[in-house]
Amino acid sequence: SYFIGGPQPCPGSVPYLCPSPSPPPTYHAFSLGAVVGSQNISARIGEPLVLTCKGAPRKPPQQLEWKLNTGRTEAWKVLSPEGDSWESVARVLPNGSLLLPAVGIQDEGTFRCRATNRHGKEIKSNYRLRVYQIPGKPEIVDPASELIAGIPNKVGTCLSEGGYPAGTLSWHLHGKALVPDGKGVSVREETRRHPDTGLFTVQSELTMTPARGGPLNPTFSCSLSLSPSAPGRRVLHTAPIQPSVWEPLPLEEVQLVVEPEGGTVAPGGAVTLTCETSAQPPPQIHWLKDGSPLAIAPSSVLFLPEVGAQDQGIYSCVATDQGHRSKESPGVSVSIIGLEEGPGLGLVALVLGVLGSLVIAALLVGILLWKRQQRLHREERKVPECPEEEEQRAELNQPEEQETAESNVGGP
Ligand SMILES: *[C@@H]1O[C@H](CO)[C@@H](O)[C@H](O)[C@H]1NC(C)=O
Ligand SMILES: *[C@@H]1O[C@H](CO)[C@@H](O)[C@H](O)[C@H]1NC(C)=O
pLDDT mean values, one per 10 residues, the chain (412 residues): 38 36 41 61 94 91 93 92 82 94 95 93 94 94 94 96 94 95 92 95 96 92 88 86 91 93 92 92 92 93 92 95 90 84 53 65 72 72 50 50 45 42
CA 205 to chain CA centroid, Å, is 12
C-alpha triplet 66, 71, 75: angle, nearest 5°: 55
Q: How many residues does the chain have?
A: 412
95 lines ligand 2 (CB under 6 A): yes
227 lines ligand 1 (CB under 6 A): no
Q: Is 139-246 a CATH 1.10.3720.10 domain?
A: no
Q: What residues contact residue 258 under an 8 Å CB cut-off, 6+ apart?
A: 271, 272, 273, 274, 315, 332, 334
**Alpha helices, DSSP H, located in 194-337:** none
What is the full DSSP assignment across 343-410?
Answer: TTHHHHHHHHHHHHHHHHHHHHHHHHHHHHHHHHHHHHHSPP-HHHHHHHHHHHHSHHHHHHHHHHHS
Instruction: State the Cα–Cα distance between residues 103 and 97, nearest whole angstrom.
Output: 15
Nearest atom of ligand 1 to the alpha carbon of 25: 13
**Tell me, what's the pLDDT at 278?**
87
**Tell me, what's the pLDDT at 27?**
42
- In angstroms, the Cα distances linking 23 to 6, 110, 272, 376, 383 are 9, 19, 70, 136, 146
153 lines ligand 2 (CB under 6 A): no
**What is the separation, in whole angstroms, between the first and last Cα of the chain?**
116
**Tell me, what's the pLDDT at 365?**
65
Instruction: State the Cα–Cα distance between residues 331 and 100, nearest whole angstrom.
Output: 74
Nearest atom of ligand 1 to the alpha carbon of 130: 5
Q: Is 254-340 a CATH 2.60.40.10 domain?
A: yes
Q: What residues contact residue 79 under an 8 Å CB cut-off, 6+ apart?
A: 65, 66, 67, 68, 86, 90, 91, 92, 98
If you measure from the C-alpha of residue 103 to the centroid of ligand 1, how many angstroms do you get, rounded to a whole number? 20
- The arrangement of secondary structure in 2-132, i.e. its CATH architecture, is Sandwich (2.60)
Whether 139-246 shares its CATH topology with 254-340 is answered yes
Name the residue ranges covered by the structural domains of the chain. Answer: 2-132, 139-246, 254-340, 351-377
If you measure from the C-alpha of residue 40 to the centroid of ligand 1, how many angstroms do you get, rounded to a whole number? 6
40 lines ligand 1 (CB under 6 A): yes
Q: Are 177 and 170 in contact (CB under 8 A)?
A: yes
| CA neighbor of 301 nearest in space, from 281, 279, 276, 324 | 276
**Tell me, what's the pLDDT at 86?**
83
4 lines ligand 2 (CB under 6 A): no
Q: Are 38 and 126 in contact (CB under 8 A)?
A: yes
| CA neighbor of 68 nearest in space, from 99, 36, 107 | 107
